């Protein structure tokens, strides 16, 4: 007899511009059995984007139907377009015994915890300092100084989210941050509360 484990959900959040997406992609590269939940959107597909990989692209009627039927675990409307996380792929992956990783903000995390009580492991990626975060944002060179300052102000507020998370991972060196996240996932997989047949396993042996 093998030990059977209940799969769980891993939510990774971080202040804007902290490299959350990069860390999640690197973790996925290390754990092939992990399922990544791709967000859905009603905005048009941009050059180079792949449907089902970058986003699940749907029309507004479909998205609104998902909302009405509870088929999105979280969603928001930004500049007239919907963004959210479809529920069906998550439930399918969990049903197959696969753990699910999502990169969400605090609102998405709270919604997920309400829908899957006791099955969400939350990780907050913390930048080494606000100065380092500013340097990273500036290095992108994609925004004006005014927008940069607004984003930095928002990031300072987002850092307060950390109080609601199970784990705080310092995102100083990418490779080290990935190792820390992997350690959390492996430890969570071995928690007694997730083993479904522990009594039967012990009785049999």
Domain boundaries, the chain: 1-34+99-205, 38-98
More confident position, 62 or 128: 62
Cα(155)–Cα(175) distance, integer angstroms: 22
- The whole-model pTM stands at 0.89
Percent of the chain at pLDDT exceeding 90: 72
Place of tokens 């820390």: 180
More confident position, 198 or 136: 198
More confident position, 5 or 133: 5
More confident position, 180 or 131: 180
Burial category of 106 from C-beta neighbours within 10 Å (exposed 0-12, middle 13-18, buried 19 and up): middle
Distances (CA, A) of 148 to 53, 140, 154: 28, 10, 10
Q: Residue 142: pLDDT above 60? A: no
Q: Residue 140: pLDDT above 70? A: no
Q: Which CATH class, in words, describes the domain spanning 1-34+99-205?
A: alpha beta
CATH domain 38-98 topology: Guanylate Kinase phosphate binding domain (3.30.63)
Q: Tell me the two tokens of residue 85.
A: 């996380």
């Amino acid at each position: 007899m093998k030990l059977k484990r209940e799969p769980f959900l891993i939510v990774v959040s971080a202040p804007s511009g902290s490299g959350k997406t990069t860390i999640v992609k690197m973790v996925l590269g290390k754990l092939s059995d992990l399922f990544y939940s791709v967000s859905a959107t009603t905005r048009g597909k941009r050059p180079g984007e792949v449907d089902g990989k970058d986003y699940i692209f749907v029309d507004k009627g479909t998205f609104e139907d998902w909302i009405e039927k509870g088929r999105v675990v979280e969603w928001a409307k930004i500049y007239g377009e919907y963004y959210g996380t479809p529920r069906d792929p998550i439930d399918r992956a969990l049903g197959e015994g696969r753990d699910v990783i999502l990169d969400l903000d605090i609102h998405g995390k709270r919604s997920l915890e309400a829908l899957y009580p006791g099955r969400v492991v939350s990780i907050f990626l913390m930048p080494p300092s606000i100065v380092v975060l500013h340097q990273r944002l500036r290095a992108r060179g994609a925004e004006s100084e005014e927008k940069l300052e607004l984003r930095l102000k928002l990031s300072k507020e987002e850092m307060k989210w950390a109080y609601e998370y199970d784990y705080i991972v310092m995102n100083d060196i990418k490779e080290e941050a990935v190792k820390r996240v992997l350690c959390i996932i492996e430890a969570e997989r071995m928690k007694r509360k997730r083993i479904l047949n522990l009594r039967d396993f012990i009785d049999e042996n």
